[in-house]
Amino acid sequence: MHFDFALLLVIATGITGVVVLLDKLWLQKKRRQRIGRGSRPGWVVDYSRSFFPVLALVLVLRSFLFEPFQIPSGSMLPTLKIGDFILVNKFSYGVRLPVSHTEIIRGARPELGDVAVFRYPLDERLNYIKRVVGVPGDRIRYEDKQLWVNGEPVARELVTRHPSESPAEWLWREQTGAATHEVYNTPLRLYDLPEFEVPAGHYFVMGDNRDQSNDSRFWCQAAANAEVGCIAVPGYVDGRGMPLVVGFVPESTLVGKAVAVWMHWPGLFHWPNLTAMRAIE
């Protein structure tokens, strides 16, 4: 079961707003016409007056400016830790209506290196967060843990083997677009991708925890469906005759750009750590 907070917020704001409007236009007048009785409104009107401004403000802020998210998994380690609370800039990729997600003001498009939040194309009730490593028209290849973009290897340097935070991994520092960030890789060669082109209106994304991330490389599982961004690489089949199907993020599913960590709270029985505040690279 998925809890749709945006829908609940829209409904609550709408109901309290209608009650406040009815009170202004009709109920106040009726109360004044009562002779010998108090003019105090009932509890429904009273609560609606109190909550409507707060709900409306939260709806505007959350829908069009900034929305908080909590990181639930380790797919973006070491950049984002489980329990990090992040702020997502909702207008960086255009302004969208809540619930329907209709774009009403077109914004900038994601750039290489952005950490983007999007609705998971295979189940849009879920929000995913990954790093954009391919924009429309880019040619992408991934071979022996090295990412290639437009025929050039993405610059990287080895920081350390087997870091204490994750002894099974190697820690690298990469330069993706304008973003300098760290990634984890296991030393074993697990999965390569031949060169392909990112189609128009779509983005190729990967987690910074490269071998522990359900991202564009994996979520389509050889099942092509262009409506959800699962697109077969033309002219490629594996040894079993199966097509290579890559999962792209359609523009219509973009939520916003992750810009900052404002708190780290690993669990109910821990103190929130406000010193973890930092910009996201």
* pLDDT tens by residue, 188-200: 888 889 999 999 9
What's the mean pLDDT in 172-187? 96
Element (H, E) at 50: helix 43-60
Q: Is a pLDDT exceeding 90 seen at residue 119?
A: yes
The full DSSP string for 2-47 is ---HHHHHHHHHHHHHHHHHHIIIIIHHHHHH-TTS-----HHHHH
pLDDT digit string (tens) for 240-253? Answer: 778 889 999 999 99
57 vs 70: CA distance, rounded Å: 21
pLDDT at 142: 95
Mean pLDDT throughout 259-278?
A: 90
Which pLDDT value is given to residue 226?
93
Q: Give the number of other Cβ atoms within 10 Å of residue 196's Cβ.
A: 22
133 neighbors 210 (Cβ within 8 angstroms): no
* pLDDT score of 217: 94
Q: Minimum mean pLDDT among 21-25, 70-74, 167-171, 228-232: which range?
A: 21-25
3-class secondary-structure state, position 99: coil
pLDDT at 125 over 70: yes
Q: Would you say residue 76 has pLDDT above 60? A: yes
Task: Return the closest-CA partner of residue 110 out of 281, 254, 279, 278.
Answer: 254
Which positions are annotated as active-site residues? 75, 130
Average pLDDT of the chain is 91
Q: Which among 71, 72, 77, 73 is positioned nearest to 210, based on CA atoms?
A: 77
**Mean pLDDT score, 207-233:** 93
For residue 104, give the H/E element and its range: strand 103-105
Residue 80 burial (CB < 10 Å; 0-12/13-18/19+)? buried
Whether residue 182 contacts residue 79, with contact meaning beta carbons closer than 8 Å, is answered with: yes
- The confidence score (pLDDT) of residue 183 equals 97
Integer Cα distance of 183 and 169 in angstroms = 9
Higher pLDDT, 263 or 35: 263
pTM of the model: 0.90
pLDDT digits (tens, 9 = 90+) for 34-44: 654 556 778 88
Q: What is the mean pLDDT of residues 22-41?
A: 72
First and final C-alpha spacing in the chain: 33
Query: What percent of the chain shows pLDDT beyond 70?
Result: 96
